[in-house]
Amino acid sequence: MAEVVPPDWAALYQKHRHTMYRVAYRLLRGTGREVEAEDVVSTAIVSLMQTPPSGVKNWEAVLVTAVKRRSVDLLRSAAHRRAGPELKPEHDAPDQTDMADEVAELVDRQHRGAVLWDKLTLLDGRHRKVVWDLVALGRARDEVAEELGVTPGRVSQMRNAALRVLRDALIEEGVES
């Protein structure tokens, strides 16, 4: 069995590098990844060096095909698909606003929401449904009334009574609205 002699990779690279680079650049053009054309060529060469093909009659075709495949792999990669547009220098500056007040307000709102969620257990099932449907889901009073089999006026009374119970429980808990 004849021993397979690896090709002279340096000579192949020198001979076909411009063609490989043009192919990679053409495929990456317009995607914001043109600067990676040289990396694609290098990766393709290294990959071929690690597992050299046998019986090659046209090395230029093999090299160009490898570069095309690496370029397509790069464009199909999750990192490329999820990457947003490049930030401009004016967008890359740190924001000088103090967010402490906004964060504190958000934490307070979440705390109030958690306490309110716990206090819903103070209501019976019908009152809880009325408050949830009208206030949280924003459903129409007439829809809720029809669903419960009561008048729209009764739904308003139930909502007001339930909100009073919840407000009193929150005040007793020390949570301000």
150-168 tens-digit pLDDT: 999 999 999 999 889 888 8
Do 75 and 104 share a structural domain?
no
The CATH number that applies at residue 147 is 1.10.10.10
Do 53 and 105 share a structural domain?
no
Last residue of a domain, one of 51, 82, 113: 82
Do 122 and 64 share a structural domain?
no
pLDDT for 112 beyond 90 = no
- Give the count of beta carbons closer than 10 Å to the beta carbon of residue 41: 26
- Residue 83 has a pLDDT of 66
Last residue of a domain, one of 82, 117, 135: 82
State what percent of residues in the chain have pLDDT above 70: 82
> At residue 148, what is the residue type?
L
pTM: 0.45
- Residue 96 has a pLDDT of 66
Do 77 and 23 share a structural domain?
yes
- Residue 88 burial by Cβ neighbours in a 10 Å radius (0-12, 13-18, 19+): exposed
pLDDT for 177 beyond 60 = no
Alpha-carbon distance 15 to 7, whole Å?
13
Q: Within 13 Å of residue 65, how many CA atoms lie on the same side as its CB?
A: 8
> At residue 84, what is the residue type?
G
- Residue 38 has a pLDDT of 92
**Domain boundaries, position 160:** 100-173
Number of domains in the chain: 2
Do 138 and 73 share a structural domain?
no
| Site of tokens 């192949």 | 12
